[in-house]
């Protein structure tokens, strides 16, 4: 397998995210609009709900997006990321499939800080659907995540497990 650079891979990752967003858009008309939400960010800040795990390449894309923030905001978010890892003991978790936390990338009054630049696939798929029958099929997310997994292998020459988002972007992860 011929390896590709991280820069090229991040561009391909962006294409995968955009294609996935287009697929999900077909279902979003069945969901409540975030613009009309009476509790903005509640789903992102619900420490009993959020369980987003990301790949090494997605972590790099998020760190790149955070590096573009104004210094004061970036420092605030970096502090929040560290506090999230510590508060929920995420760097000690064995079974990441059940670990939950409040997302440190949500800024009250602003929203998701990486929404347009590096939003993870599970977050793109999430919306407030009133009925389970309205949800996009799981196969859409599975297929997109498989593409990202293959892209990671082409970039880093090996498969790696998904890591809880705050750990992956904190620098405490072994994703190297």
At 64 the pLDDT is: 97
The overall average pLDDT reported for the chain is: 92
- The least confident of 33-37, 72-76, 99-103, 115-119 is 33-37
Residue 17: per-residue pLDDT: 97
- What Cα–Cα distance (Å) separates residue 74 from each residue in 17, 33, 80, 104, 105? 23, 28, 10, 11, 10
Q: What is the pTM assigned to this prediction?
A: 0.92
- Token pair in block for residue 146: 């498989």
HSE value, Cβ hemisphere, 13 Å, CA-based, for 113:
23
Please tell me the least confidently modeled range out of 23-32, 95-104, 167-176: 167-176
Confidence of residue 42 (pLDDT cuts 50, 70, 90): confident
Please tell me the distance from the alpha carbon of residue 105 to that of residue 82, in angstroms, as a whole number: 12
Element (H, E) at 126: none
Mean pLDDT to the nearest integer, 12-29: 94
CA distance 142 to 121: 10
75-96: average pLDDT: 95
Number of Cβ atoms within 10 Å of the Cβ of 115: 15
- Nearest residue to 164 via CA among 99, 112, 105, 117: 99
Could you give the CA distance from residue 162 to residue 156 in angstroms, rounded to a whole number? 14
User: 176 or 166: whose pLDDT is higher?
Assistant: 166
Q: How confident is the model at residue 175 (pLDDT cuts 50, 70, 90)?
A: low
């Amino acid at each position: 397998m011929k390896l590709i650079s991280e820069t090229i891979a991040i561009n391909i990752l962006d294409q995968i995210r955009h294609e996935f967003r287009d697929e999900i858009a077909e279902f979003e008309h069945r969901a409540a609009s975030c613009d009309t939400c009476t509790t903005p960010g509640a789903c992102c800040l619900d420490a009993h709900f959020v369980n987003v795990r990301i790949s090494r390449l997605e972590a790099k894309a998020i760190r790149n997006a955070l590096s573009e923030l104004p210094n004061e905001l970036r420092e605030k978010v970096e502090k929040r990321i560290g506090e999230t890892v510590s508060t929920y003991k995420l760097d000690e978790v064995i079974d990441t499939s059940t670990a939950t936390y409040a997302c440190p990338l949500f800024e009250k009054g602003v929203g998701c800080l990486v929404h347009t630049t590096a939003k993870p696939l599970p977050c793109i798929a999430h919306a407030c659907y009133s009925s389970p029958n309205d949800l996009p099929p799981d196969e859409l997310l599975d297929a997109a995540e498989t593409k990202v997994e293959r892209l990671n292998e082409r970039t880093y020459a090996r498969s790696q497990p998904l890591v809880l988002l705050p750990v992956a972007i904190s620098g405490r992860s072994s994703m190297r």
